[in-house]
Amino acid sequence: MIRHYLLALQFFTRIPVTGKLATWVGYSPTMLRASAGHFPGIGWLVGSLTACCFWGVHALLPQQAATVFIAVVLSTVFSVMLTGAFHEDGLADLADGLGGHVSREKSLEIMKDSRIGTYGAVALILALSTKFALLSLLGQLNIPVCLMTIFLAHVVSRTMPLLIIRNLPHVGDTPQSKSKPLADAIDYPTLLVAALWCISAFALIVYWHPSRLWVTGTVGALFATCWMYRFLSRRIQGFTGDALGATQQVSELAFYFGVLLAWA
């Protein structure tokens, strides 16, 4: 399980797993498929470090009206650098492929193009702007709750793509796709590992701050995932690696929105 977690860390972040450690971890498509259960565990790490960055920036700067917004922006920059914009890239590619009214085959071809188009650029601008706005509002309401929300949103949003993998077929360019090992539906033991990561994150947050906020945030993420499932089923009849990244981004934003709705 340690090898599987480190493989997920190597695949989804820029944290170096190199040299003898990488040799010990190894690689195989089967291992990568098993490492899918640790996607929420990557959310534990990324969410914790991002929340710490937010807290550090907010504590160091003068306490003015714009301080929360600056902390949100810089912590988001930190998280993007930590993950190599892996999920943001998926969102942009999916938007380019499915933004226009083209055939399924053409959509899949566009998604393989590394260049970003109008739809992808607009999707990234809107997604980042929405994240800045939601977290800035939440930070103005309560800093500790904002930090816990960031942590939990990263864990939950990395659980949601597993539901897509479980219920839709892989339709990418199978021989060349990075998500090829996920083409086969993940099994129940893998889902159990993911559930344990997610439940432990909830247990930790509820211990510190029992609240219905976390329930409504999760409901928001589930609604977003259901919408992505329906959208992908209709447009490409399956998922690609880009679709999984986009699902993470959309469900993360929906988690923040759900928390704020409960607050209201």
Residue 81: count other Cβ atoms within 10 Å of its Cβ: 11
Give the orientation angle of helix 160-167 with respect to helix 241-263, to 10 degrees. Answer: 130
* Model pLDDT, residue 221: 97
Residue 184, in any domain of the structure:
yes
Res. 247 pLDDT band, cuts 50 70 90 = very high
Residue 164, in any domain of the structure:
yes
Query: What is the rounded average pLDDT of the residues 141-151?
Result: 96
* Model pLDDT, residue 61: 93
> Quick check: 169 and 179 in contact, CB under 8 A?
no
Residue 117, in any domain of the structure:
yes
pLDDT for 35 beyond 90: no
- The conformation of residue 185, written as its DSSP 8-state character, comes to P
Residue 203, in any domain of the structure:
yes
Structure tokens that stand for 58 in this block:
């907010």
Residue 32, in any domain of the structure:
no
> Quick check: 3 and 24 in contact, CB under 8 A?
yes
Residue 113, in any domain of the structure:
yes
* Model pLDDT, residue 177: 57
Structure tokens that stand for 252 in this block:
């993360």
Task: Please name which of 258, 262, 245 lies closest in space to residue 90, comparing C-alpha atoms.
Answer: 245
Per-residue pLDDT of 175-188, as tens digits, reads 555 555 665 667 88
Query: What is the rounded average pLDDT of the residues 8-22?
Result: 87
Query: What is the rounded CA–CA span in Å between residue 161 and residue 4?
Result: 18
Q: What domain range is 122 assigned to?
A: 42-263
Res. 239 pLDDT band, cuts 50 70 90 = very high
Query: What is the rounded average pLDDT of the residues 106-130?
Result: 90
* Model pLDDT, residue 164: 93
pLDDT for 52 beyond 90: yes
Query: What is the rounded CA–CA span in Å between residue 62 and residue 146?
Result: 19
Residue 116, in any domain of the structure:
yes
Number of separate domains in the chain: 1
Residue 11, in any domain of the structure:
no
Q: For the chain, what is the mean pLDDT?
A: 90
